[in-house]
Amino acid sequence: MIKTIYFATGNPRKVLSLKKALSDLPIDIIQYTGELLEPQKDNIKEVALSKARQAFSVLKDSVIVNDGGLVIPSLNGFPGPYTKYIDNTIGNRGIIKLLSNVLNREAYTTQAMVYIDKHGNEHIFEDQVYGTIAFEEDMTQNPRAWGNIWRIFIPKGANVPLASLPENIYKNLRITAQTSSVWSELHNILSKEI
């Protein structure tokens, strides 16, 4: 029997990634694009959990929310949960400008995935991918990109932003990063339910 799960996101690339990550399971992922309030919280996990609870209260069925952000320790964790807002305002060039006189360009992307099953049980997963911020924005078009951060974030083990990584290098980095990622943890939970 095929299990249906709603994925509350406005990003169709995230839906494709989730479908690919769960492709070996009998699960039908349905994108839910209903209006969800974006809470102003200082923690990405709290933002994802709030949105998942909102979606569950509307759908009354299994739902997934995946939220993430860019954390720059030398900027006191900014932009963190405000990454989407920063992307829509000052953008990558603004982030690069904020770091213009900063020696430590270390950063990490962090994401929280919340899965609420049809009974209302909440499962929360978090992970991070470490790297640095580029000195300039990479304008390479990349169909894998989820967002503009791909143009400035250089993952550990690479020397160019995600946007320019060749497929084979990206795949190796992704496999390494996802061995204990939110995607694999979600897969493990769902495979036990089926």
- The Cα 109–Cα 63 span in angstroms is 23
List the catalytic residues. 67
Q: Tell me which residue of 15, 11, 69 sits closest to 41, measured CA to CA.
A: 69
Q: What is the DSSP letter of 2?
A: P
- The Cα 127–Cα 135 span in angstroms is 25
